[in-house]
Chain A
Amino acid sequence: MHLAYPAVLAALLFCVGLYGVLARRNAVLMLMSVELMLNAVNLNLVAFDVWLRDTLHAGQALTLFTITIAAAEIGLGLAIVLMVFRTQGTADIDRLRELSEPPADGLPPGPTGAEAGPDDSDTASPASPASPASLTGSAQGKAGAV
């Protein structure tokens, strides 16, 4: 068999996964895309192992390791996503922007006057404790019943 077939398939699969990682909004979907990329790497490893007839079977052994690590990764990743979902009320990657630079025309760090109070609470509503509490509550209820 031509090595080009698995190699090209792996390359294309990798790029598909790449697209998924860059384009998907839901964190779980991103994790799935990461799995696709990892599998592309695995395919390459296996193909090259077969081609090279490595006596150590380095390719296949590494594939096994990769699969194991991927399993660990997905477990941890999902735990993180679930926790984020529980605390933030969303699993959308592009809404988790606590690390972003605040907008230049935004409010000053502290409330400057009496009028600033309600505005403050309004603008903070996406991350305000009220709405995620209900969401988290329902999610917790479901998880508890499982």
Chain B
Amino acid sequence: MTTALEALLRCVAVLVVFLTFPLVIGQTEHKVMAHMQGRLGPMYAGGFHGWAQLVADGVKFAQKEDIVPAGADRRIFQLAPAVALLPYLLVLIAIPVGPGGFVGQALDAGLFFVLAVMGIGVLGSLMAGWASANKFSLLGGVRSAAQLLAYELPMLLAAASVAMAAGTVSLTGILGAFHWWWVPWQIVGGFVFFTSGLAELQRPPFDMPVADSEIIFGAYTEYTGLRFALFLLSEYAGILVLCALTAVLFLGGWHGPLSADLGWLWTLLKTFALAFVVIWLRVTYPRLREDQLMRFAWTFLIPLALAQLALTGIVKVVIS
């Protein structure tokens, strides 16, 4: 009984995190971008520093009419946002926040699970792109698929490097085996992982699938109202998951200078710091062209990941 209750509690906690943290990241993006770009608009809503801008956005999205295009495949069109969102919710379950079972569900193959489920998210983009009966949407969906397939490989290789270093694919196991010098050791892998993750999330500068200047808004062109908000939410949830994972795998997760009880704080700090980097990158770098995108993955990231893998292997053999 207690296990069931505990499981329920954990699920609720994960859900709460899932529902709040992406919003926080979204609000942060608003603010950070506004500051970086000197934009004044988001500074007014709610008075102080425009704190209610996010609420205003939510209200706006909720008010908008939910339109399904006449030529669209209705059910898939409506299902697509959920498919895009749900994997991140599932992934969150497996990410450890603090030591001692401070995790939704510790999985034996946690890293594997996380990567596998994250890969499903692209199905949402594809479904949305195809079901919209819009050629821009279709192009966006196809671009999403191509991009995902291209960047899945370096991401997996970089993650494999960490798993190799730790000798396990369990996320808690990886964190348990963490030493501070892993950070410089795995830094290249971290870079590859983070970059590939950005590409999978279709965040700038890898946002070719939603390139508004070319194909309006890619797969999401036809979406309005809450469904569009769900896609945005899934993007922020994706940022959250990616940053948390990067923090866990490459930055030591709950490991920090102070007491072990503050491990969850370290995790959150690292996650949000990385989220800030994601936002920072968005306003810093211009969008890559499609061919540049692909070349970057195949000719730069994958060799880099392989080099990291080799380095990890060598060091692992040396120290053992």
Say if the beta carbon of A97 comes within 8 Å of chain B: no
- Shortest distance in angstroms between B59's beta carbon and chain A's nearest beta carbon? 37
Min C-beta distance of B288 to chain A, whole Å: 14
Residues of chain A lying within 8 A (CB to CB) of residue B139: 142, 145-146
The answer to whether the Cβ of B142 comes within 8 Å of any Cβ in the partner chain is yes
* B116: Cβ under 8 A from any A Cβ: no
Would you give the shortest CB distance from B293 to chain A, in whole angstroms?
11
SS class, residues of chain B in contact with chain A: helix
With a cutoff of 8 Å between Cβ atoms, the chain B residues found around residue A146 in the complex are 139, 142-143, 146, 290
A142 surroundings in chain B (CB, below 8 A): 138-139, 142
* A145 to B129 alpha-carbon distance, docked (Å): 15
Interface size on B, residues (CB 8 A): 6
A55 to B167, CA, bound (A): 22
- In the assembled complex, the Cα of A60 lies from the Cα of B290 at a distance in Å of 39
From residue B214, how far is it (CB to closest CB) to chain A in Å? Answer: 8
Chain B minimum-CB-distance residue to A143: B142
Chain B, range 274-290, C-beta contacts under 8 Å to A: 290
Q: How far is the CA of A145 from the CA of B143 in the complex (A)?
A: 8
Contacts of B143 in A (CB 8 A): 146
Complex Cα gap A146–B208 (Å)? 9
Shortest Cβ gap from A86 to chain B (Å): 16
The proximity string for B residues 121-165 relative to A, scoring 1 for CB distances below 8 Å and 0 otherwise, is 000000000000000001100110010000000000000000000
Chain A's nearest CB lies how many Å from the CB of B260?
A: 37
Q: How far is the CB of A73 from chain B (nearest CB, A)?
A: 16
**Who on chain A is nearest to B145 by CB?**
A146
Beyond A142-B138, A145-B290, A146-B142, list 7 extra A-B contacts (CB 8 Å).
A142-B139, A142-B142, A145-B139, A146-B139, A146-B143, A146-B146, A146-B290
- Give the residue name and chain of the A residue nearest to B142 (CB): A146
Separation in Å of the A34 CB from the closest CB of chain B?
20
